[in-house]
């Protein structure tokens, strides 16, 4: 059997694993904290070490396995044609020729794409969007990213910017976003902004169990805390989750009217809120988008929590290799 | 030389013409008012007559011309696979098998697509978006429609709904749209809504030459009147055009962040406002969208005013024929 190493470089974790060429199995998956504060060179060194150990472990578990190459998912913006990471504020990488570095240090051919694109491609290849001709993925974490599968292939646009769903305006004069714009979807529905909206309500006097959950230190409220409180029936937390669903419903409704996909996959911790999120989200989409677009589309949580990016990175390698063959 | 008849069924005008297979010329172009109030059967009869005269005129002007078939652009929603118009409120057509009717009555093979898709395809084939790999067209008239050229082909989505740019939300709690939703781009920037915003300002006491332009009958204010007053330097009209540019800039900025196209073509009467529209529009897009997406993209007026839909309908025939061959 032939395998591809998938590497997912996240702001929080580095994740690697070896994926069978047909997507049927993930071997030797491993992860460690990114610890970006240790510096760019240190992150790269540890990433290469993690990758080498995964390759060795794969050869141990699957004797005779052929490792075809390495696919890497990295935070953008990127130049996928040149294999260069243009800028990652969190990691301190500027114009880093990551594809070549990985190729040289691991001695294997390599391919590079955006982390959100990899996550969506992974979900499309072996996860929740499998079999769809047109699929959209939206990844919700510290930011909101996304990726588009159109006519059965990852869509990059003219300069690898496509899929920046988090930075579509849903409210022209709305909340300030860290991108500098106003009213971006991300300014409402990213993890930190979910926590911030709860905090604002508490500071405005709303009654909630959230302060008790963080022992009075309001700075410790995170999106996870909000989901936990919502699961426990806290009214404020439920309201925050419900509002999050509506904001996501506006953004996803827009995507349905423009792309008319078969499936929208929502990835990230926000899916932990379960029906508290998905029921009002689907209601808002149905209210906003055209009926034939709503009828054509499933809106589902990701099925590969934690490994979608690794599967997708491996698939990126396979696709780029096939395209250049 | 081989030709294809293009037919553009608009709410205001029926337009036909014969297009050379390579897009190099349009022969025997003709149009007449749609007069939808005369009834569905009457519109169809006159459309067939107009088409027959265009074919005869083509044979007269280009002796020996071979007419390969007919492409038809019709208001949606459609089922392009079945060739059926599902519903056109303006024309009173419901589940009309238009492709087969045209084929039977003209005795030529036929193809069908959405009118906005045809306009965008025409601009991409021989007009303002020529040569782009990824292009978006936005058609502004009584409504706002759109179409997407992705990876060099018209993109339809799962059920022919793709491209409904006018019904993307730019303001979650915004103006009521005739689709029933709130805050759609169309509710701000369609022709009737441009006129309506001017009217609202006048009724609220704004000073303007617009009432004089319509001899005091405020119900006669149209988007065209607003552009004319803006060209004459009327402050209110200039403000309405400037606001229109900002609303369009929000919607188009969203498209840049999601699609990252090489070109956005703006079609329709609104382009008559010229720099009064395009300068603030491009400023708003630059403020909202990511720099690499802005840098990659031209935003331009359509180059085929009045005939884009005919060219595009002919191209739809050629593409559908090639795809099924």
A171 touches chain B (CB under 8 A): yes
- Nearest CA of chain A to the CA of B91: how many Å? 20
| A89 or B176, which is more confident | B176
Are residues A219 and A91 part of one domain? Answer: no
pLDDT band (50, 70, 90) for residue A79: very high
- Contact check, Cβ <8 Å, A181/B256: no
Its pTM stands at 0.94
Are residues A52 and A15 part of one domain? Answer: yes
Q: Give me the number of domains chain A comprises.
A: 2
Cα B313 to Cα B5: distance, rounded to the nearest angstrom: 8
The answer to whether the beta carbons of residues A99 and A111 sit under 8 Å apart is yes
Q: Which residues pair with B153 in a beta bridge?
A: B150
Contacts (Cβ under 8 Å, ≥6 apart) of B85: B74, B75, B76, B78, B93, B95, B96, B98, B112
CB atoms closer than 10 angstroms to residue A207 = 11
Are residues B106 and B255 part of one domain? Answer: no
Interface of A with B in 19-78 (CB under 8 A): 77
Are residues B114 and B47 part of one domain? Answer: yes
CB atoms closer than 10 angstroms to residue A61 = 11
Are residues A315 and A268 part of one domain? Answer: no
DSSP letter assigned to residue A195: H
Question: Among residues B140, B156, B166, B241, which one has the least CA distance to residue B198?
Answer: B241
- Contact check, Cβ <8 Å, A168/B254: yes
Looking at residue A92, what is its pLDDT? 83
Are residues A188 and A87 part of one domain? Answer: no
Percent of chain A residues past pLDDT 90, beyond the cut: 88
Given a cut of 90, whether residue A90 has pLDDT beyond it is: no
Looking at residue B290, what is its pLDDT? 94
- Nearest CA of chain B to the CA of A87: how many Å? 12
| Chain B CA closest to residue A298 | B158
CATH code of A39's domain: 3.30.420.40
Looking at residue B156, what is its pLDDT? 95
The answer to whether the beta carbons of residues A281 and A270 sit under 8 Å apart is no
- Strand A153-154's sheet: what is its strand order? A153-154, A144-150, A135-140, A263-268, A298-301
Contacts (Cβ under 8 Å, ≥6 apart) of B81: none
Cα B63 to Cα B81: distance, rounded to the nearest angstrom: 34
Are residues A250 and A168 part of one domain? Answer: yes
- Contact check, Cβ <8 Å, A158/B250: no
Size of interface A-B (CB pairs under 8 A): 144
- Contact check, Cβ <8 Å, B292/A160: yes
Are residues A77 and A43 part of one domain? Answer: yes
Cα A109 to Cα A124: distance, rounded to the nearest angstrom: 24
Given a cut of 90, whether residue A187 has pLDDT beyond it is: yes
B89 touches chain A (CB under 8 A): no
Cα B78 to Cα B76: distance, rounded to the nearest angstrom: 5
**Residues B72, B76, B81, B82: what is their CA dihedral angle, to the nearest 10 degrees?**
-90
B chain contacts of residue A173, beta-carbon cutoff 8 Å? 171
Burial class (CB in 10 A: 0-12, 13-18, 19+), A269: middle
| Chain A CA closest to residue B263 | A158
Q: Tokens 């096939």 — which residue? A: A322
Strands B78-79 and B84-88: antiparallel
Query: What helix, strand, coil percent values describe chain B, rounded to 5?
Result: 45, 25, 30
pLDDT band (50, 70, 90) for residue A39: confident
B152 touches chain A (CB under 8 A): no
Contacts (Cβ under 8 Å, ≥6 apart) of B111: B69, B70, B71, B72, B83, B99, B316, B317, B319, B320, B321
Residue B279 structure tokens: 């300068």
- Nearest CA of chain B to the CA of A193: how many Å? 17
- Contact check, Cβ <8 Å, A296/B161: yes
Are residues A280 and A218 part of one domain? Answer: yes
- Contact check, Cβ <8 Å, B260/A297: no
Given a cut of 80, whether residue A89 has pLDDT beyond it is: no
B chain contacts of residue A157, beta-carbon cutoff 8 Å? 134, 259-261, 293, 296
- Contact check, Cβ <8 Å, B297/A158: yes
**CA angle B209-B215-B218, nearest 5°?**
75
Tens-place pLDDT, residues A215-269: 999 999 999 999 999 999 999 999 999 999 999 999 999 999 999 999 999 999 8
A158 touches chain B (CB under 8 A): yes
A chain contacts of residue B288, beta-carbon cutoff 8 Å? 169, 181
Contacts (Cβ under 8 Å, ≥6 apart) of B114: B73, B74, B75, B76, B77, B78, B80, B145, B147, B160, B163
The answer to whether the beta carbons of residues B202 and B210 sit under 8 Å apart is yes
Are residues B208 and B194 part of one domain? Answer: yes
- Nearest CA of chain B to the CA of A7: how many Å? 25
Residue B114 structure tokens: 């959405």
pLDDT band (50, 70, 90) for residue A305: confident
Residues in chain B predicted with pLDDT less than 50, given as ranges, are: none
Of A134, A172, A292, the CB nearest to B77: A292
CB atoms closer than 10 angstroms to residue B138 = 28
Are residues B96 and B44 part of one domain? Answer: yes
B82 touches chain A (CB under 8 A): no
A chain contacts of residue B89, beta-carbon cutoff 8 Å? none
Question: Among residues B116, B111, B131, which one has the least CA distance to residue B163?
Answer: B116
Given a cut of 80, whether residue A76 has pLDDT beyond it is: no
Interface of A with B in 249-288 (CB under 8 A): 250, 253-262, 287-288
- Contact check, Cβ <8 Å, B162/A296: no
Looking at residue B269, what is its pLDDT? 85
Domain hosting residue A222, numbered range: 132-301
Long-range contacts from A184-187, C-beta under 8 angstroms, 24+ separation: A185/A144, A185/A247, A185/A248, A185/A250, A185/A251, A186/A143, A186/A144
Cα A253 to Cα A248: distance, rounded to the nearest angstrom: 8
Interface probe with A: pick from B84, B158, B160, most Cβ of A within 10 Å:
B158
Cα B280 to Cα B294: distance, rounded to the nearest angstrom: 14
CB atoms closer than 10 angstroms to residue A157 = 25
A chain contacts of residue B164, beta-carbon cutoff 8 Å? 257-258, 290, 293
B292 touches chain A (CB under 8 A): yes
Tens-place pLDDT, residues A122-180: 999 999 999 999 999 999 988 999 999 999 999 999 999 999 999 999 999 999 998 89
- Nearest CA of chain B to the CA of A162: how many Å? 5
- Strand B110-114's sheet: what is its strand order? B26-33, B13-20, B2-9, B66-74, B110-114
- Contact check, Cβ <8 Å, A158/B296: yes
- Ramachandran region, residue A252 (left: φ > 0; alpha: ψ -120 to 50; beta: rest): alpha
Are residues B289 and B151 part of one domain? Answer: yes
- Nearest CA of chain B to the CA of A18: how many Å? 31
Phi, psi values for residue A191, rounded to 5°: -50, -55
Residue B86 structure tokens: 């599902």
- Contact check, Cβ <8 Å, B134/A262: no
Contacts (Cβ under 8 Å, ≥6 apart) of B48: B102, B105, B106
Interface probe with B: pick from A76, A138, A152, A159, most Cβ of B within 10 Å:
A159
- Nearest CA of chain A to the CA of B259: how many Å? 5
Tens-place pLDDT, residues A220-233: 999 999 999 999 99
Looking at residue A324, what is its pLDDT? 81
Q: What is the C-alpha radius of gyration for chain B, rounded to an integer number of angstroms?
A: 20
Looking at residue A147, what is its pLDDT? 97
A324 touches chain B (CB under 8 A): no
A296 touches chain B (CB under 8 A): yes
Question: Among residues B192, B158, B161, B160, which one has the least CA distance to residue B175?
Answer: B192
Diameter over CA atoms, chain B: 64
A chain contacts of residue B280, beta-carbon cutoff 8 Å? none
B chain contacts of residue A250, beta-carbon cutoff 8 Å? 169, 172
Looking at residue B265, what is its pLDDT? 98
Looking at residue A254, what is its pLDDT? 98
């Amino acid at each position: 059997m032939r395998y591809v190493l998938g590497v997912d470089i996240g702001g929080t974790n580095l994740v690697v694993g070896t994926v069978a060429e047909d997507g049927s199995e993930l071997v030797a998956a491993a992860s460690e904290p990114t610890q970006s504060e240790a510096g760019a060179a240190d992150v790269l060194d540890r990433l290469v070490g993690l990758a080498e150990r995964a390759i060795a472990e794969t050869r141990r578990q699957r004797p005779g396995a052929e490792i075809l190459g390495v696919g890497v998912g990295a935070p953008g913006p990127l130049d996928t044609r040149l294999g260069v990471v243009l800028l990652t504020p969190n990691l301190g990488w500027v114009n880093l020729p990551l594809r070549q570095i990985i190729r040289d240090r691991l001695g294997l051919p390599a391919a590079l794409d955006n982390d959100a694109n990899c996550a969506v491609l992974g979900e499309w290849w072996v996860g929740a969007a499998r079999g769809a001709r047109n699929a959209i993925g939206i990844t919700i974490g510290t930011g909101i990213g996304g990726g588009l599968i159109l006519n059965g292939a990852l869509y990059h646009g003219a300069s690898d910017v496509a899929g920046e769903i988090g930075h579509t305006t849903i409210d022209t004069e709305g909340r300030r976003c860290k991108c500098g714009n106003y009213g971006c979807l991300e300014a409402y529905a990213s993890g930190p902004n979910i926590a911030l909206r709860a905090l604002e309500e508490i500071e405005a006097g709303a009654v909630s169990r959230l302060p008790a959950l963080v022992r009075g230190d309001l700075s410790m409220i995170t999106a996870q805390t909000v989901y936990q409180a919502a699961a426990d029936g806290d009214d404020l937390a439920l309201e925050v989750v419900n509002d999050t669903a509506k904001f996501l419903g506006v953004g996803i409704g827009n995507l349905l009217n423009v792309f008319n996909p078969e499936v929208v996959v929502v990835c990230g911790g926000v899916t932990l809120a379960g029906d508290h999120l998905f029921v009002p989200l689907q209601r808002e989409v149905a209210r906003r988008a055209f009926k034939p677009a709503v009828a054509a589309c499933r809106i589902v949580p990701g099925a590969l929590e934690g490994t979608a990016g690794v599967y997708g990175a491996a698939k990126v390698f396979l696709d780029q290799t096939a395209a250049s063959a």
